[in-house]
Amino acid sequence: MLSASTDSRFTHKIWQEEELSKMIDGGVPFPMLSDAGGKIGAVYGVYDEDAGVDIRGRFLIDPDGVIRAMEVLTPEVGRNVAELIRQVKAFQHVKATGEVTPSGWQPGKPTLKPGPALAGKVWKEWKPENAF
């Protein structure tokens, strides 16, 4: 877990000490990166030049350094950590098994095995109610 904003590392220190440590015992346990100037955010497509800040963007990167998922929101709505964790589990399952996870998949729910035998037969394996 890495967090990044255009604030300096000094501001991160004060935020950790003055506020975050009051929400989480010992403060957040991950590196808080400074993207001063927004150059990193620009490369990731989340730097808002007008406001001079990085907007809310989350990137899931696999052990090979490949981006697997991204989610970008305007600032007023926060993220859903449960959905992030579900995506991590789904990508890890896919990597380990070669199966694929249909819409609404949660650990323990059925997966699909892609191949010619499945073509046109997904309706037998997956129902719309599985999406929820």
Partner 1 sequence: MAEPKDGCVSPAKGPIPPEAEESAPMQNQTQKGVSKVIARVGKPAPDFEASAFIDGGFQNIKLSDYSGQWVVLCFYPGDFTFV
Residue ranges in contact with partner 1 by CB under 8 A: 1-16, 19, 30-35, 37, 39-47, 51, 53-70, 75-79, 84, 88, 91-92
Under a CB-based contact definition with an 8 Å cutoff, are residues 112 and 122 in contact? yes
Q: Which whole-number Å values give the CA distances from 71 to 8, 15, 78, 80, 106, in the listed order? A: 24, 24, 11, 10, 19
Of 30 and 132, which has the nearer Cβ to partner 1?
A: 30
Residue 88 or 130: which CB sits closer to partner 1?
A: 88
Tokens of 20: 């975050």
Q: Are 72 and 57 in contact (CB under 8 A)?
A: yes
- In the complex with partner 1, which residue's Cβ is closer, 100 or 130? 100
- The residues near 19 (Cβ < 8 Å, ≥ 6 apart) are none
- Report the nearest approach of partner 1 to the CB of residue 102 (Å): 18
Of 15 and 118, nearer to partner 1 (C-beta) is 15
For the chain, the C-alpha Rg in angstroms (whole number) is 19
- Least distance between partner 1 and beta carbon 28 (Å): 10
Q: How far is the CB of 18 from partner 1 (least distance, A)?
A: 8
Q: How far is the CB of 132 from partner 1 (least distance, A)?
A: 24
